[in-house]
Amino acid sequence: MAFAPSSMQLTSSAFVHHEAIPTRHTGEGENVSPALAWRDAPEGTQGFAVICHDPDAPLVNNGSYGFVHWLLYNLPADVTALDEATTLGTAGVNDTGSLGYGGPMPPEGHGVHLYYFWVLALDTHTELPEGLTLPELLTQLEPHLLGMNRLVGSYRRD
C-alpha cells in the first residue's frame, strides 16, 4: 500500500485536530508525549508504529524535510491507545539525536508550526531494534503498511 491516509482514526485527549498542542507536551513545558488513541484499524493489523513530524521546520535531515519529533514502534495489535508519557513500544532517534519523544519547539518568531502525529497499521508485529532513524524505520515498515492516518496539532513560540 502507498503512504496514503486510510479510514483509521487517531485522536488525543490533550488536543483536537488542527488545534494548539498544550505547552505541557512541548520543549518549553514538561516535554511529555500526549495521550493518543486510535480505532478502525484495517483488517489483518498485527502491529502499529507512531511518528511525530514537523514539516514546517526549516531543516533538511537525512534527505528529508522537516523535523522528526518522535518515533515509536513495535506496538502490538492489542495496543490502541498510549497514555501520556508512555513507556510502551520501542523508541527511535528523533532529530535532536535523542531517543523517544522530543516535543514541539519551533524557532522563536518562526510562526505557527504544524505537528503531524501519524499512526501506522502493519500486517506484522515488528521486533525492530531501538534507535532507528526515520529513513531506517520507514524502510522496514513500508512493506508491511496496511493503513495510516494522522492527527495534526499546532504550536507557536513567540
Domain contains 4: no
Query: Looking at the domain assignment, is residue 140 inside a domain?
Result: yes
The tens digit of pLDDT for each residue in 69-107 reads 999 999 999 999 999 999 999 999 999 999 999 999 988
Residue 153 has what pLDDT?
97
Confidence band for 127, pLDDT divided at 50, 70 and 90: very high
Domain membership flag for residue 1:
no
Residue where the block lists cell 518522535 = 70
Is residue 46 in some structural domain?
A: yes
**Per-residue pLDDT tens for 27-78?**
999 999 999 999 999 999 999 999 999 988 866 555 567 899 999 999 999 9
Domain presence at residue 153:
yes
Give the count of beta carbons closer than 10 Å to the beta carbon of residue 66.
20
Q: Is the pTM of this model over 0.85?
A: yes
Domain limits for position 73: 9-157
Is residue 48 one of the residues assigned to a domain? yes
User: Which of 30, 38, 32 is CA-nearest to residue 12?
Assistant: 38
Residue 3 maps to a domain = no
CATH number of the CATH domain containing 74 = 3.90.280.10
For the chain, the domain total comes to 1
Residue 129: Cβ-neighbour burial (10 angstroms; 0-12, 13-18, 19+): exposed
17 and 33 in contact (C-beta within 8 Å)?
no
**Does 146 reside within a domain?**
yes
